[in-house]
Amino acid sequence: MNILQPPGWPRPKGYANGISASGRMVFTAGVIGWDEREMLVSHRLDHQFAQALKNVVAILAEGGARPEHIVRMTIYVTTIKEYLPLRDELVPIWKSIMGSHYPAITLVEVTRLLERSAKVEIEATAVVEE
């Protein structure tokens, strides 16, 4: 896996501009902050974000992948207004679950998610070297 960083560009904070990798691909989609009983862990965005990341990691593990194999991630939030003030608080949550690995990430605000009370949904693509 190689991080793609054009010369002269400032290094992004909390994500990578691009990544190249080859190997077996593992995908997740529609991952929200609920537990194994499909109950949301909280109505707070930071708690749902943590649980959604844990769920992504658990799903990837079933496919033989770990957080450091993630090459791209899309994070959908229902309100940027709620996300922005929490950015600094989400860093230690990220590091405790994902370590120091920062894939290519897109953050998108959406009107709502399928699960009405969900505030965040994550999809990820991992590449495991063969």
Q: Does the reported pTM lie above 0.85? A: yes
| pLDDT given for residue 17 in this prediction | 80
Q: Determine the Cα–Cα distance for residues 110 and 7; give it in Å rounded to an integer.
A: 33
Domains for the chain: give ranges and CATH numbers: 24-121 (3.30.1330.40)
Quick one: tokens of 82?
């709620």
Average pLDDT over residues 101-106: 94
The tokens 């998108």 sit on which residue? Answer: 108
The model's pLDDT over 41-92, given as tens digits with 9 standing for 90+, comes to: 999 999 999 999 999 999 999 999 999 999 999 999 999 999 999 999 999 9
Q: What are phi and psi of 127, to 5 degrees?
A: -125, 120
- With cut-offs at 50, 70 and 90, classify the pLDDT of residue 1: confident
What percent of the chain stands above pLDDT 90?
83
